[in-house]
Structures are given as structure tokens and as C-alpha cells.
Amino acid sequence: MATVTSTSVHTSNLFSREAIAEGTMAFRFSKPVDFEFRAGQSIDVTLLNPPETDEEGNTRAFSLVSAPFDPDLMIATRMRDTAFKRVLRDAPVGMEVKLEGPSGSFVLHRKAEKTAVLPAGGIGITPFLSMVRQATNDRTQHEIYLFYSNRRPEDAPFLDVLKEVTRQNPNSHLIATMTQMAQSTREWKGETGLINEESIGSFEIPLLLPGPDTWRDRFRNAHTIGRFCIRAEWVHPLSALARWPRALLNRQRLHHCRRQ
């Protein structure tokens, strides 16, 4: 799929940050006047003259958490101990950065009559939050099933935001599950265990998978599982979600999904 909006370079300023889960932070930047994107796209953030750097460099790619209708741009990340993230964590409000983007075609399909099932784990929720919030704002008729897997509620970024969005949108459905509640200090009355074929059900749908490209080869072809179609973009290998494709890929007949 082709990139859906043109890529350009902008300068922006950090104006807030907050912890959104254990070991996870969100950062808000000013939105350039002429910056346009589609929900689900990403940007490259470059630190300008940072006080420290390392071999990983001064640029990172992030999915945009914010929706196109928002007045600012938000990204979120697990806070690994790298120079880039230390600088971002400690930077003063107002710090200038370079933004390049948007990029990517990982967006919600346009045909509202096609159901969308969106499975995400941990920080992989970011593009889907943008999609669901934009669909709610636009009052589209997409039927959306969002499966969200985390180890514990403490590790689940934006869980409360997702609950509120799906309350506002009768066409959006959140199925959140925790896989390691024995290690949690919080109460949880929702689902537990891994996402699997039974929990997703049997639909003929476009299925979007977020996460790093290290797992992309597993889904180079589209597989039918029951009656639904996997159209793979990414899958996140570090989350509890990462284990569910092994159970699902039962080597049924291959099916190439038509792009929307």
C-alpha cells in the first residue's frame, strides 16, 4: 500500500510528558500548522544537539497516539535505558525537536461495511488508539473489535482512555485481557489469558497486527483462520500477545487479502 499522505520535515517543541503505565511515558509536541496525517501513521523524531548520544543515534520512529483532530502530537514509548530516551525523559518543556513524516500505510480501511479486528499488546496499542478515537470523532460506521493484551493492568498504557472511547462509540468493542495477574497488586474483573482463535472468533475481516518488523516474516503470506483473514503489518514480540499466532497458524489454506 502506498503512503497515504506526503512526508515533510518540521520543527516542534515538547510541551508535556506523563507516565501512562509502569515504565512507559507519553510525550506531547506542538503540532505544526501544515502537518496532516491519517490515524495509524508514524513520525520520525530527531533530538537536536542532545547532551548525550549513543550508537543507536538521535532519531526514533514512533506511531502517533494522537488522532488527526487533536491540536497536538503525542507519542508514547517504553522507557528503555538509552541515551535518546534519557534525554527525552529529562528534557525541559520547550525543547525543540525535528519531526519527519507522516509515514506508513498502517491505517484503518476505508470500507466501513468491513469489520475490523485489531489485536494489540502493550505499547503496540498506540496506532489503534489513534484509529479508534478518529473513527469515534468522525462517527464512521466501522464495526471495530479491539483485543488488547497486557501482563498486568499496571503495564497497560491508555487502558482507561480506551474504555471511555468504546463507551462513547457503540460500534467499537474493547476486549482487554491480562496474562500475569498473579504478579499484579490491582483488581481486575476482565478477561485473563492469551488472545487466541477462540477469543477472536470467526469473522471474514481485515486483521491488523502492530509491532516491530522482526516478526514480519512470520506473516509474509496472509493465512485464513476459520473464516477471517490475517493481513499482517507487524506483531509485537515483547508482549503477551506475541505468543498467540503460534496457536492460530494451523497451516490452513493460504488466502491473499485484497488491499482496501
Q: Assign a CATH topology to domain 8-103.
A: Elongation Factor Tu (Ef-tu); domain 3 (2.40.30)
Q: What is the Cα–Cα distance from 2 to 103, expressed in whole angstroms?
A: 10
CATH ID of 116-248, from 3.10.290.10, 3.40.1190.10, 3.40.50.80, 3.90.180.10? 3.40.50.80
Q: Indicate the burial class of 198 (C-beta count within 10 angstroms; 0-12, 13-18, 19 or more).
A: exposed
Q: What is the Cα–Cα distance from 32 to 223, expressed in whole angstroms?
A: 40
pLDDT score for 116: 81
pLDDT score for 209: 54
Beta strands 206-207 and 228-230 are parallel
Q: Which three cell numbers stand for residue 82?
A: 538509552
pLDDT score for 204: 46
Which residues, in sequence order, are bridge partners of residue 145?
A: 117, 173
Which residues, in sequence order, are bridge partners of residue 149?
A: 121, 177
Q: Which three cell numbers stand for residue 250?
A: 494451523
Which residues, in sequence order, are bridge partners of residue 254?
A: 223
Q: Which three cell numbers stand for residue 193?
A: 489469558
The residue with cell 489503534 is 128
Q: How many helices and strands, by DSSP H and E, does the chain display?
A: 5, 13
pLDDT score for 4: 53
Full strand arrangement of the beta sheet holding 42-47: 59-63, 42-47, 96-103, 8-21, 24-30, 72-78
Distances (CA, A) of 162 to 23, 44, 172, 181: 19, 25, 10, 20
Contacts of 33 (CB under 8 A, 6+ apart): none
Helix intervals (H) in the chain: 83-90, 126-138, 159-168, 197-200, 244-248
Listed by start position, the domains of the chain span: 8-103, 116-248
φ, ψ for residue 252, nearest 5 deg: -75, 180
pLDDT score for 248: 37
pLDDT, tens digit only, all 260 positions of the chain: 444 567 799 999 999 999 999 999 999 999 999 999 999 999 999 999 999 999 999 999 999 999 999 999 999 999 999 999 999 999 999 999 999 999 988 888 888 887 787 888 899 899 999 999 999 999 999 888 888 889 999 999 999 999 999 999 999 989 899 999 999 999 999 888 877 656 555 444 455 555 444 334 433 333 333 333 333 333 343 344 444 443 333 322 222 233 33
Full strand arrangement of the beta sheet holding 172-178: 191-192, 172-178, 144-150, 116-121, 206-207, 228-230, 224-225
